[in-house]
Structure 1
Amino acid sequence: MGCPPTPLPLSLECTLRPFLFSSSPHRPSPSSTAFFSNTTTLSLHKSRALPLLKLLRRFSSPSAPQPVTPSPLDSSPWPGAFLVPDGLQVLRDFCVTVELDHGGGGGSGGFLEIRPMLAEELDATAQLLAESFAESMFVPARYVPLLAFLVKQYVAERRCLEPHVTVLVGFYRERGTEGAAQLACTAEISLDARGANAAPPTPVPPRECPYICNMAVRKALRRRRIGWHLLRACEELMTQMKTERNVYLHCRVIDKVPFDMYQKAGYKVVKTDGFLVWLTLQRRKYLMSKELPHEIG
């Protein structure tokens, strides 16, 4: 997404935090959490919501369309190189296709294709992230359009840093059905220090190492191992891009389902937030890490 004027991108949480504050009486259920990345129990600050909603309506108006700024993958030839000489080409060609059984999620199974997000998929990806964030944080549904607007700006800024950052998306097609596949999942990967967040969540991961965040799976498609295959696809891409072998991610202490998945995938806790993090209106988080093999089997 040329790059917007902001010099360095912020994490999704830090982007949304100025417009939100902790006031929700609810507490998320570990089994119902859909947003795997570091987040905090937030609800919308009414005094800031009204002007932002007016801004949202303005930018949503047909008379004021928002241009999508291109990433290096949208132009050719691509300038510069990355961790491997043909890194941009590796990123552009990356695609993982897996066949899924119905498992516990119902249906007859289907096919999941995971690849880097295209410019025209920005709106749908932002909407999925906003819905997942709102669900896990108990933000009222009426604020989802505003969240989607804010998330879109964040994802656009991150995408303009490709190939140092990439946003993967997964499209699912039910077996035996026709028509377009539906967006099922997404995840963001920072591949090196240049793509690292300017204000990373705590505990802070090493900037030079790859970092996975903002994982989300569509609610209707959960319990089909889509999150597992998305995580494996992230690892495969990092291996192909020849990043540092130690990869990091965050998981909130209360999120048992994602934590179990990460443990089964080989991630171990290397650091845990202290209790004082609650003073900043955040949930305690684990920083987890895994050493990638030279090749993903």
Structure 2
Amino acid sequence: MAATFSLFFCSDPRHAHLYTQPLRNPVLNPFRAFSTTSLPPKPAHPLLLVHEFDNLKFSPVYSSPHSSSSEPYLNDPQRTGGFLCSEESKKLQILQNFRYSHEVVSGSLFVRVMEAEEINATVGLLSESFAESMFVPFGYVRFLAFLVNQYLIERRDLIPHMATLIGFYRGEDGEEELAGTVEVSFNNQGANASPPTPTPPKDSPYICNMSVKKQLRRRGIGWHLLKACEELISQMSCTSRDVYLHCRMIDTAPLKLYTKAGYSPVKTDSIFFLLIFQPRKHLMCKRLSILKDHSEVDIANPDEEFPS
């Protein structure tokens, strides 16, 4: 994981890299990230519902990363007209036009904002990553997919105050595939209602739910998803230049990566979290430089990638 899941999907680049947080905090409690009206009645144990999703299929169908959006945000009547002020419309335009690309090991990575028709593919990637990081049986991925799908739909309504980015990897054979995803919120309007502890400031940019496809790890993809978030935050002219993310203390590789990227722990969970069988987490912060040119963003490619 690369950023703590906020379903609670957090910052943990080692696993499927959901770790730089989360789907409103699924890591601690997959239900508290959602409103009670968006979920069916909660059973005695959430995983008892798994059998109800046996027929759930993933359809990782996504458009070419180089194609134009078939459903651009600015043409969505729910996001325009009287609903958006001029500043929000400007930010929607930035999100629609955002592109980040860089060479990685044995190929290249292309990052942009997730489109509506790509939710299914993103759900599949996040669900498998979350299941791996939590050591739950693979059979429960279907249920996790239900939760993640609800979360992504709910969060997408908060654009342009947050965005879900997806990265496409193109190998030396020219084939393209969905390689990773990460979520970033820009202000308190896009912040998670139930963020993981230690709680980050809601008015500051926050990175979470980073995930890299298992077969494509150790190629620098997680690093560049992080850098893409930082570049987008700079373009969105956030009021705060302090960017936050979470990293579990047990995840030494992600911690090393975040430290190398310039993030430092500012708060840490109490040791009493161990009494409730929850891994302690660092809240990490980095102050972004004021860039005159977006090309100045540090995109150095580290040798290490989130390990398996």
TM-score normalised by length of structure 2:
0.74
RMSD over aligned CA atoms reads 2.9
Q: Secondary structure at the residue paired with 2:48?
A: helix
Structure 2 CA distance, aligned partners of 1:219 and 1:59?
21
Question: What is the aligned counterpart of 1:98 among 85, 96, 102?
Answer: 102
The equivalent of 2:173 in structure 1 is 176
Structure 1 CA distance, aligned partners of 2:19 and 2:289?
23
Is 2:114 the partner of 1:131?
A: no
Structure 1 CA distance, aligned partners of 2:185 and 2:278?
22
Is 2:214 the partner of 1:213?
A: no
The equivalent of 1:262 in structure 2 is 258
The equivalent of 1:80 in structure 2 is 84
Describe the shift of the 1:262–1:152 C-alpha distance in structure 2 as closer, same or farther (beyond 3 A).
same
Q: Secondary structure at the residue paired with 1:12?
A: coil
Question: What is the aligned counterpart of 2:278 among 276, 279, 282?
Answer: 282
Is 2:246 the partner of 1:246?
A: no
Q: Secondary structure at the residue paired with 2:170?
A: strand
1:1-297 pair list within 5 angstroms: 11-13=6-8, 34-37=17-20, 40=27, 47-54=45-52, 56-57=53-54, 72=73, 75=76, 78=80, 79-81=83-85, 86-100=90-104, 102=105, 109-178=106-175, 181-243=176-238, 244-295=240-291, 296=294, 297=296
Gaps of 5+ in 2: 31-42, 58-70, 297-308
The equivalent of 1:24 in structure 2 is none
Q: Secondary structure at the residue paired with 2:289?
A: coil
Q: Secondary structure at the residue paired with 2:158?
A: coil
Offset at residue 40 of structure 1 (A): 4.3
Structure 1 CA distance, aligned partners of 2:287 and 2:265?
12
Describe the shift of the 1:92–1:252 C-alpha distance in structure 2 as closer, same or farther (beyond 3 A).
same
CA contact (8 A) 1:126 1:148 kept: yes
Structure 2 CA distance, aligned partners of 1:136 and 1:41?
12
CA contact (8 A) 1:186 1:217 kept: yes
Describe the shift of the 1:189–1:32 C-alpha distance in structure 2 as closer, same or farther (beyond 3 A).
closer
Offset at residue 72 of structure 1 (A): 4.8
Structure 2 CA distance, aligned partners of 1:224 and 1:134?
22
Paired AA for residue 96 in structure 1: Y
Gaps of 5+ in 1: 1-9, 15-28, 61-69, 103-108
Offset at residue 165 of structure 1 (A): 1.1
Offset at residue 128 of structure 1 (A): 0.4
Percent of aligned pairs with the same residue? 47
CA contact (8 A) 1:11 1:197 kept: yes
With 73-82 and 280-289 compared, the bigger mean Cα shift is at 73-82
Structure 1 CA distance, aligned partners of 2:250 and 2:27?
11
Deviations 1:91-137 (A, max 9, x none): 1100111122x3xxxxxx11211000011110110110111111111
CA contact (8 A) 2:107 2:170 kept: yes
Describe the shift of the 1:185–1:210 C-alpha distance in structure 2 as closer, same or farther (beyond 3 A).
same
The equivalent of 1:26 in structure 2 is none
The equivalent of 1:18 in structure 2 is none
Offset at residue 71 of structure 1 (A): 9.3
CA contact (8 A) 1:83 1:242 kept: no
CA contact (8 A) 1:191 1:211 kept: yes
Paired AA for residue 223 in structure 1: R
Offset at residue 37 of structure 1 (A): 3.2
Structure 1 CA distance, aligned partners of 2:75 and 2:136?
34
Describe the shift of the 1:58–1:30 C-alpha distance in structure 2 as closer, same or farther (beyond 3 A).
closer
